Each structure stands twice: as C-alpha cells, then as structure tokens.
Amino acid sequence: MVEFKNVSKTFADTGEVVFRDLSFQVKDGEFVLLTGESGVGKTTVLRLLLKELEPDSGRIWVAERDISGIPYAEVPYYRRNFGVMFQDHRLLPNENCYQNIELARIVTGGKTKDSPRKIGSLMKLLGIENYYKRLPNELSGGEQAKVCLARALVNNPQVLIADEPTANLDPRSSEEFLKLLLLIHSGVHIKTTIIVATHDAILKGCDQAREIPLEH
C-alpha cells in the first residue's frame, strides 16, 4: 500500500536534515506505528504521504502509484485516499459532532443522501452514538478523539493516518483508543491500512501493530 525508497528530506529554511535514505514498506491492511524521538521525522513522513511536502530525493509509492507524478491540480483528489487524524483534533467549535463528521464526508466527495445511515453506523461502532448534538467543548479529550476518528473514517479511506492521536489523552483513554484501532484493523466493519505516528508506550506495546522506528 505504501513504500518509501531512499527518501531524504532537509528543511531548506533551517538546513535541518530530517532523514536520509529512508526506506520502508506498509502492506495493504497493515497496522503500523512510526516511532522515535521528537524530531526524527514522524510527522514529516505523514506530510510527505499527503503531498504537503515533497522529498529532496527518493520515491514514494501509494497503492503502487509513484506520487511524485501527481499534478498539483489532482492532489485534493489524491488525498481522498486518506483519513487523517491530527494531534490537536481540529474540530469545528461551533458545529456539533454529527456536523463535524458530515462536513468531512461532504468535502471529500461522499454521498450526502446516505450520510445519516453511514454516520450513525460509524458513531455507534465507536461508542459515540449519544453525542450527535454535543459541541466539541462539551466532550472529554477521549470523546473528541473518537469523533475525530469517525471523521477520518467516514468515507472509507484506503489509509488512515494519525499524528500522535493519544498525545493529550490519559492512559485509560489511550487504551480505549487503541481498542478502537484494533477493531478497525480487524477489518470486520471497516478495512483500511493504519499508520500512526506515536511515542505512546501503550500503543507501542500492542502486539498486533508493527513498529517502524525512525532515526536521523
């Protein structure tokens, strides 16, 4: 599903070398953790996948496609292959949970006529079916993370990528979130490849996830 081959990245403005000759593969349907100390490039890998950044050298393939050849105008359509979770959640504060999820479905080309069924099923799967009308500030950090996960999955992405999704959660909420990732990874309800950038010991202790350690 994803392959990095001899990818190097340096930030031109600072001269910081993020990594050199990074190579790894992620199989279709695999659950992978990108790990390592702060600054080794976990977030940079995710941004390269989304084509927010371009590598200095090397090649990146997604679903057997060399993404360096994707024209700029096609990048928004390419990104529809991904569901994305951010560390700071980025929920719209004046929209309720259902509206936050529905908006992601609309802007990524989902069919709006079956949104109530699709979103309702997903919220029930993640245990947030009672939060339809709640605003983000009425939710705990763990509850917000579940809404973000629903938003990321609403259009059945090929790849779910998450940048430190449990960084602001307590250990109990992190364990609950890991259980949801494992439920998704099981493929019973949703089939997607999962790539998570994390330093969370709870996630790193998961036997069903393969760790890809990054270093400078």
pTM: 0.93
Evaluate if residue 164 carries a pLDDT over 80: yes
Average pLDDT, the chain: 92
Where residue 110 falls among pLDDT bands split at 50, 70, 90?
low
pLDDT cut 90: percent of the chain above it: 79
Q: How far is CA 90 from CA 22, 79, 144, in A?
A: 29, 17, 10
The 10s digit of each residue's pLDDT in 14-63 is 888 899 999 999 999 999 999 999 889 999 999 999 999 999 999 999 99
Evaluate if residue 114 carries a pLDDT over 70: yes
In the chain the domains, ranked by start, together with CATH numbers, are 2-213 (3.40.50.300)
CB-CB neighbours of 144 under 10 Å: 24
Residue 31 confidence (pLDDT):
96
Evaluate if residue 179 carries a pLDDT over 80: yes
Look up tokens 């050849």; give the residue: 69
Evaluate if residue 216 carries a pLDDT over 70: no
Residue 69 confidence (pLDDT):
87
57 vs 94: CA distance, rounded Å = 42
Q: Which run of H or E residues covers position 46?
A: helix 42-49
CB-CB neighbours of 56 under 10 Å: 14
CB-CB neighbours of 138 under 10 Å: 12
CA atoms within 13 A of residue 94's CA, in its CB half-sphere: 0
For residues 59 and 66, the answer to whether their CB atoms sit within 8 Å is: yes
- C-alpha 168 chain-centroid distance: 16
* Two tokens, residue 176: 């609950």
213 vs 35: CA distance, rounded Å = 5
97 vs 120: CA distance, rounded Å = 11
The 10s digit of each residue's pLDDT in 117-132 is 889 999 999 999 999 8
Look up tokens 């024209």; give the residue: 71
